[in-house]
Amino acid sequence: MKDPYVEKAKQMNYRCRSAFKLLEIDNKFHIIRPGEVILDIGAAPGSWTQVAVERANLSVFNKKFKGVIISVDVLPFEPIAGATALIRADITKLETVEKIKGLLGPRLANCILSDMAPNATGIKHLDHDSITNLCYHVLKLSSLISEDGGNILMKAWDGGNISKLEKEILKTYEIVRRIKPKSSRQDSAEIYLLGQHFKRQHVL
């Protein structure tokens, strides 16, 4: 009840406080740009998709840009205007990957976002392994559908697997950053891994 981001989310019509994590990261690193193709994985309830729609569909210097935003989750959620929703869709399944590729058509993704997390068991090492495994699925998908120079942002929980995961990200991205947004609860193990400048020639 005392969380200022919860109240701020209500005031700004975001579906949940997590919007401010993405806003903070994007304000600093500019990973979502007007007119680009954005894939939001683990989208429910939709606050990151709201941010992506706002920032990929912009008028800049009297030019109108319209991005392509696809939001995906295994959970049901109300679709966001301006985005295409894949509901009850699991990105670890081939059929979901094929649906995403079909929606993209000839285009490739400029930015892949994942705020996805497993249901926590409360057993720290098991939860850490579970979310790390999801990150590897997102990273594998990125190698299939990312545009050269693209970005990836994934939620993780800090722990022993992070350094290895960062090394894997560096195989296809020029830069990797470990980020703890101010809007992330400080007593949480939650961090975000940002890979920048996808190197498509490395996966062809």
Quick one: which of 146, 167, 160, 130 has its CA closest to 42?
A: 130
Distance CA 25, CA 28 (A): 5
**Three-state SS letters, the chain:** CCCHHHHHHHHCCCCCCCHHHHHHHHHHHCCCCCCCEEEEECCCCCHHHHHHHHHHCCEECCEECCCEEEEEECCCCCCCCCCEEEECCCCCCHHHHHHHHHHHCCCCEEEEEECCCCCCCCCHHHHHHHHHHHHHHHHHHHHHHEEEEEEEEEEEECCCCHHHHHHHHCCCEEEEEEECCCCCCCCCCEEEEEEEEECHHHCC
155 is catalytic: yes
Do the Cβ atoms of 181 and 191 come closer than 8 Å?
Answer: no
Distance CA 33, CA 58 (A): 9
Q: Which pair of structure tokens corresponds to residue 62?
A: 């009297």
Say which of 21, 99, 124, 155 is annotated catalytic. Answer: 155
Q: Indicate which residues carry an active-site annotation.
A: 155
